[in-house]
With several copies, the nearest count.
Chain A
Amino acid sequence: MLTTEKAAAWLDDYARVIHENAAWLTDLDRQIGDADHGSNLERGMTAVEAIPREEYPDAASLLKKAGMTLVSTVGGAAGPLWGTFFLRFAGALDEPGDDATVVAAAMRAGLVGIVQRGKATEGDKTVVDALGPAVRVAEQKASQGASLADTLTAAAEAAAVGRDATIPMVARKGRASYLGDRSAGVQDPGATSITMLVESAARTLA
């Protein structure tokens, strides 16, 4: 079972990674968006770090609070997307199954939420291009009985591949889509930062 401690470690690790990479994420967004993705996520994760952990008895309630915090502080596209991911992830944690199965299903729930909100499909040069493959691989690994650690490591690798695949894509969703063909050649900022989230999970949840 996903403990509160592990969930907290995940959030802290991700916050650290975002602090470290905020400038780079913003610069990616400057090239094909509006130069705020790094500062948006940093504002949100700073607020998440400030959540009084002791008030949340289990992983689900803490991650739900993190999702609400992101929704309330980030704004723009990332706020609803990242927020929804955590809210749906948290809401799926009471499903039955071993840890790998539960976490893969929770990731699926998060992805479904993101797609419902943003209506993007793979190939649109968004967060979905990294998260989609990551979820598919996690589900596959879990169904094959892999450990949570192996499941998340494989998912993180798939996310990274998906992220890199966004480089040549022409954006069809989000602000980058206004650039048309000129959006090709730059890695999608959201795909980049969601990959960091899966990598962080692999480091902390298992």
Chain B
Amino acid sequence: MKKLINDPRDVVAEALVGLALAHPDRLRVDHDNAVVYRAEPTRPGKVALVSGGGSGHEPLHGGFVGLGMLDAACAGQVFTSPVPDQVLAATTTVDAGAGVLHIAKNYTGDVMNFDMASELAAESGIQVESVVVDDDVAVEDSLHTAGRRGTGLTVLLEKLVGAAAEQGRDLDAVTTLARSINDRGRSMGVALTSCTVPEVGRPTFDLAEDEIEVGVGIHGEPGRERRSLTTAAEVAQMLVDPVLDDLGTVSARERAAIVMLNGMGATPLLELYLMFGEVAKLLAARGIVPTRTLVGSYITSLEMAGCSLTVLEADEELLTLWDAPVNTPGLRWGA
């Protein structure tokens, strides 16, 4: 294991120290609870957004705290959901009277810990709503299973819902928007190499020099199938087809979309842009117009090499929310 770390047990806490030192103008970190806050308290009357999850996906979520996006992010241990105490502390701190929306990714641990926190928050009189992101088409969805995993769409959702909250929409409106975004976006990822959890010290899975894991999860969970390493053009096809099939894009007319081509952590931008070119061609062939795009590493899996594609169908409302100012360490424009 080759990492720029000290004691593997201190990785998350020490990274939060660096985050706080790097962005003192914009962020404040509660090191006891491992919660990242905006430097300024929530504007009275604004719905507050709290997200969080296991660490190792940076800039998600701590890097998305700031104007136009999250109000607080709870950092769990690497790949382990935060505990209810963290989420409760964050919820209590950022509530400015208009209520709090919890944004969790669909993993059993995350959902249960956020649920416990929102029950406790509700008991103390705070209005809390939740949205659980489940956009990963690699896993079959069914009422009888844990369902799809939450991956790349989380980034887009946090941006868009953050803009809506900033506009002053109420908790119901913000929650409805969040759920409808979750309904309209899908993701799929592919890994070229594994990641290594610092405390475990060895790769989460083994891939041969000529193998790729198609449909991999953001914690190195297995995907749909293991295939031979092939060209970027063919890999693009493996991502675009399942995403669009699941979105059910059979209509003939062109449709606008917000598209993210995301790096898993160790994939250089040169490759991501090249992949984006391949993806854009395939999307065009199926009538999807990437009206807004993100190309870069926004939801990562430590030092895993690979990428994921997220496609969110976008109407005028979403495009306007997308263009609204955002000022976070991980995503910034118009401010």
Contact = CB atoms under 8 A, between A and B. Distances in A.
Interface of A: 30, 34-36, 39-40, 71-81, 83, 117-118, 172-175, 177-180, 182
B253 interface: no
B11 to A, nearest CB: 14
B221 A77 contact: no
A72 B146 contact: no
B115 interface: yes
B146 A179 contact: no
17 contacts: A35-B200, A36-B80, A71-B84, A71-B85, A71-B116, A74-B83, A76-B80, A76-B109, A76-B113, A77-B109, A77-B112, A79-B83, A79-B112, A118-B108, A173-B145, A175-B146, A178-B217
B81 A177 contact: no
Contacts of A180: 140
Contacts of B81: 75-76, 79
A174 B84 CA distance: 18
B77 interface: yes
A40 to B, nearest CB: 7
A173 B145 CA distance: 5
B204 A80 contact: no
Given A75-B109, A76-B109, A117-B112, A178 B221 contact: yes
Given A81-B112, A172-B144, A178 B139 contact: yes
A121 to B, nearest CB: 9
Nearest to A71: B84
A125 B85 CA distance: 28
B115 A34 contact: no
Interface string B54-80: 000000000000000000000011011
B265 interface: no
A79 B139 CA distance: 24
B222 A182 contact: yes
Majority-rule SS of B interface residues: loop
Interface string B139-171: 110001110010000000000000000000000
B113 A75 contact: yes
Contacts of A174: 108, 146
B248 to A, nearest CB: 23
A174 B109 CA distance: 8
Given A79-B83, A117-B115, A182-B222, 13 more contacts: A35-B197, A36-B80, A71-B85, A75-B77, A75-B80, A76-B81, A77-B109, A80-B116, A81-B112, A175-B107, A178-B146, A178-B221, A180-B140
A41 B150 CA distance: 25
A90 B204 CA distance: 38
Interface residues of B, number: 31
Nearest to A44: B83
B183 to A, nearest CB: 21
A80 B113 contact: yes
A175 B84 contact: no
Contacts of B219: 34
Contacts of A80: 84, 109, 112-113, 115-116
A38 to B, nearest CB: 11
Interface string B305-335: 0000000000000000000000000000000
A72 B217 contact: no
A117 B108 CA distance: 9
A40 B80 contact: yes
Nearest to B197: A35
The 9 closest A-B pairs by CB, nearest first: A76-B109, A80-B112, A77-B109, A77-B108, A75-B80, A177-B146, A72-B85, A75-B83, A178-B221
Given A79-B83, A178-B222, A35 B204 contact: yes
B112 A118 contact: yes
A79 B197 contact: no
Contacts of B79: 34, 36
Contacts of B82: 75
B246 interface: no
Interface in B218-273: 219-222
Contacts of A182: 222
A173 B144 CA distance: 8
A25 B79 CA distance: 17
Contacts of B76: 75
Nearest to A26: B200
